[in-house]
Amino acid sequence: MKKILIIEDETDLLEVLADRLAFEGFGPIKCKNGENGLLVAFRERPDLILLDIVMPGLDGLQVLKKLRADDWGKGVPVIILTNLSATDEKIVKSILEYRPIFYLVKSDWKIDDVVKKVKEVLGIGN
């Protein structure tokens, strides 16, 4: 079973994503903040991370920087799920510097689309 770490401070979205990924046969791991998410990532070594950017405390960009500074973390696939639009050029450029696999704006994507991207990244047929 592929482990998917979801680092998301919006409880409703976190629960919906976790439930849907579990239904699809994944092992979702839920974290509501960046600090905990980073600790869990290094401990559990998930197959993929869904990462929000705007969170209180340690934000998603800081989490991504710390992941990419680690030998294991530099290779883990990360999909950014955020409310920041791609028009926020300075922020997007900073994020893309740390090589996420996809940058998805939440308002533009449905849960089904996110699941398809997860499967695509992990090489699992739909």
Q: What is the pLDDT of residues 60-113, one digit of tens each?
A: 889 999 999 999 999 999 998 877 655 555 565 666 665 666 666 677 788 898
Check: CB of residue 52 under 8 Å from CB of residue 7.
yes
Any idea where the domains of the chain sit in the sequence? 3-118
Residue 55: its pLDDT value, please?
87
Q: What is the mean pLDDT of residues 5-21?
A: 95
CATH topology of domain 3-118: Rossmann fold (3.40.50)
Q: What is the pLDDT of residues 16-34, one digit of tens each?
A: 999 999 999 999 999 999 9
Alpha helix (H) residue ranges in 1-126: 11-23, 34-44, 60-68, 89-96, 111-122
Residue 29: its pLDDT value, please?
98
